[in-house]
Amino acid sequence: MKEKISALHKEFMNVRFNGSLTPSSSPSLGPSPSPSRPPSPSHGYEFITANASETEIEEERTEIIEERSNLTIDDVILQLKYGNDEEFNFALLWFNESIRQGLITNEWINEGGIVLILVNRLSSCKPNNRLIILRILQKLASENSENKEKMADAASLSALVKSLTRDTEERREAVGLLLDLSDLQAVWRRLGRIQGCIVMLVTMLNGDDPIASSNAGKLLNALSSNTQNALHMAEAGYFKPLVHYLKEGSDMSKILMATALSRMEVTDQSRASLGEDGAVEPLVKMFNAGKLEAKLSALNALQNLSNLSENVQRLINSGIVVSLLQLLFSVTSVLMTLREPASAILARIAQSESILVNQDVAQQMLSLLNLSSPIIQCHLLQALNSIAGHRNASEVRSKMKENGVIHLLLPFLTESNMKIRTGALNLLYTLSQHLPEELTEQLGESHLNTIVNIILSSPLETDKAAAVGILSNIPISNKKATEVLKKSNLLPILISMMNSSPSMISNSLAEGVAGVLIRFTVPSDKKLQLLAAQNEAIPLLVKLLSCGSLVAKCRAAAALAQLSQNSVSLRKSKKKSWFCVPPSATAFCDVHDGYCIVNNTFCLVKAGAIPPLIQILEGKEREADEAVLNALATLLQDEIWENGSDYIAKNAGVEAIIKIMETASVKAQEKALWILERVFGVEELRVKYGESAQVVLIDLAQKGDPRLKSTTAKLLAQLELLQFQSSYF
């Protein structure tokens, strides 16, 4: 390296000058009568900086300056202005070293227009030179206020801002220089207007470079004294200045910030930042204490923030719910414009269970329903639906029942405004899950027909799902409702809807349809069961066992179990005297020991329901086990239990039943024990599966629910692992 530096040193020594520039015996910093271009070395300074040590570079810089001290000011200025990369590099090095040695005066800098020259070269020179320029400018700015003002014009600031987009080191130097310039008020205003400046500063603030981040934060803080800059920062995702104005700004500044926030398209992450920075509390204060314009801008801003659950909790903690309700009850004309955003915020707040601390809020909303505009009615219905659906809202629902909520909502089912009707349907569905008796009392024939018509005609699947859900929650004991629904042709409507576009059916709609089919398959009414079967309900139920949600599977299994209870009595004997035409051999059912046709005998075997039922048991979720076991148990009725046991075993059902015994609910365990008792009545099956069952049964006898103790002991005795006279009985 020393050899390379020495060679470069000799090249500088031997260089020849052109034109009128002649070597002089002493340095000349004065103007030259006929300036010419100083030569440049054939190797750029960048080669040195890339390979030499700092000490060697420093020594060489000094030697170069000493040996080229015959350059004039005009020579340097020309090369700084017009020189190519190598020439500019050499002149910049000369100028930098001269500044370091204190050889350059402010007068020289001013006369030569050096500041503007350097700023103008920023956009065209190489990265290493840009770093040198930025450091020179920072030194010049720190030493002389006139130099600083020369860098504060819009063009110069724009050139400096471009450096914020470049590599790490250049960004760090640029933001440091801009921070030095920020004590000039003109800079605050101009920087905010330069496209991309504030965005880049916010990016640097959030970046990994601690020095650049700190300086960017300080610069943003300085720029935020201008309200427009604070708004630009908020748009870039930096909200602290905006929140500061909301807390401590003038009334007009607060309104400006709140209005901007209400119109801003923000992400949930931005909403979270605003909430954490403390935006909610001053906005609530503006709403409570401000004049009309302040109230409106604050409410609209809060509406934007309330899309995030964390901010909803902050709103509840602020006590705003009472103020919002008071506003909705107000009849003052000037406050009417505030009611819509107030109701929208209430709808968002109601999604949090914390709203239940305001015990009378639901009753107050109900009393407002018929006194409000359509938009407010929609928001109130949404809020009431959220409140009624909360797990701990039983007291609230009871009070709603006392206030005649079902009677109040039913007229909305014929509302021409689709959004209002949807809101009422959703609320009725939620209430129907908790208040089925109230629903039975209030739903007349006309209301039931209206609900069926919604299922038939609504373009919204959510409306169909809510309407079907309401019907599925009407108690099965309500025979009058069943008769009305039968006459309204509900069954073909539902099954046609489910079969028309099965891939588009939502889980909630499928669950509701399966629930309605439980009503039409009650074992006590074979004619009703036949109606369901003739409308192709059984294939649909079997399909839901495989592709429905867990709730749909559970309900489908329950409906199939009800149908299968009557299969034994409906089967056709093997005797030919039963038939005018001999039945197909494929119609014979080994389980029912007779001829089964699905639509006539509701046979689960011929319907292909047993494999998907057992697959549910083999799954990881246990909520549908009891319904599935009830369906399988119908194959083990007294007359057919041996055939049914063989068929369940053939389809791997015994292993599945034994496997779920450890984790199933008590009711499911009880049904599983009953099934195993029947299965192990077949000697072959007892030998085949007894050993795998005994471990589970012993554990169940020792640690299981006391209600299962007797049945478990009987099974163990059946497996000859426990004597019948044991105390377990």
Amino acid occupying residue 649? A
Average pLDDT, integer, range 208-230: 94
Q: Which pLDDT band holds residue 27 (cuts at 50, 70, 90)?
A: very low
Average pLDDT, integer, range 479-505: 91
Which of the pair, 574 or 84, is modelled with greater confidence? Answer: 84
Torsion of CA 38, 44, 49, 50, to 10 degrees: 180
Mean pLDDT (the chain, rounded): 87
pLDDT at 65 over 70: no
**pLDDT for 21:** 34
| Share of residues in the chain with pLDDT > 70 (%) | 87
**pLDDT for 5:** 52
Residue 321, both tokens: 């719910």
pLDDT at 52 over 60: no
Residue 429, both tokens: 């569905």
Which of the residue ranges 58-72, 142-156, 532-546 has the most confident prediction, judged by mean pLDDT?
Answer: 532-546
Phi then psi for 436, rounded to 5 degrees?
Answer: -65, -35
Q: What angle do CA 645, 650, 653 make, to 5 degrees?
A: 70
Q: Which pLDDT band holds residue 379 (cuts at 50, 70, 90)?
A: very high
Which of the pair, 40 or 62, is modelled with greater confidence? Answer: 62
**pLDDT for 32:** 36
Q: What is the DSSP string of 282-305?
A: HHHHHHHHS-HHHHHHHHHHHHHH
How far is it, in rounded angstroms, from Cα 707 to Cα 729? 12
Residue 274, both tokens: 């605003």
Average pLDDT, integer, range 109-116: 86
**pLDDT for 331:** 80
pLDDT at 4 over 60: no
Domains defined for the chain, CATH in brackets: 59-225 (1.25.10.10), 588-719 (1.25.10.10)
Average pLDDT, integer, range 346-367: 92
Helix (H, G, I), strand (E, B) or coil at 473: coil
Size of the chain, expressed as the number of residues it contains: 729
How far is it, in rounded angstroms, from Cα 442 to Cα 422? 19
**pLDDT for 33:** 34
pLDDT at 40 over 50: no
Q: Which pLDDT band holds residue 23 (cuts at 50, 70, 90)?
A: very low
**pLDDT for 254:** 97
Residue 252, both tokens: 């007009």
Average pLDDT, integer, range 604-626: 95
Q: Which pLDDT band holds residue 38 (cuts at 50, 70, 90)?
A: very low
Which region among 21-30, 185-194, 458-467 has the lowest average model confidence (pLDDT)?
Answer: 21-30
593-599 contacts, C-beta under 8 A, 24 or more apart? 593/640, 593/643, 595/571, 596/567, 596/571, 596/572, 598/533, 598/538, 598/539, 599/530, 599/533, 599/534, 599/538
Which of the pair, 323 or 578, is modelled with greater confidence? Answer: 323
**pLDDT for 13:** 44
**pLDDT for 39:** 39
Nearest of 549, 481, 542 to residue 516 by alpha carbon: 481
Instruction: Kindly report, residue by residue over 290-347, the tens digit of the pLDDT.
Output: 999 999 999 999 999 999 999 999 999 999 999 999 999 988 877 888 999 999 999 9
**What are the Cα distances from residue 165, in Å, to 117, 120, 141, 180, 218?**
21, 17, 22, 19, 18
Q: Which pLDDT band holds residue 185 (cuts at 50, 70, 90)?
A: confident
| Centroid of chain to Cα 438 | 37
Instruction: Kindly report, residue by residue over 249-291, the tens digit of the pLDDT.
Output: 999 999 999 999 999 999 999 999 999 999 999 999 999 999 9
pLDDT at 585 over 50: yes
Q: Which pLDDT band holds residue 91 (cuts at 50, 70, 90)?
A: confident
Instruction: Kindly report, residue by residue over 693-724, the tens digit of the pLDDT.
Output: 998 999 898 888 898 888 898 888 888 765 44
CB 290 within 8 A of CB 323: no
Average pLDDT, integer, range 351-370: 91
CB 686 within 8 A of CB 680: yes
Q: Which pLDDT band holds residue 35 (cuts at 50, 70, 90)?
A: very low
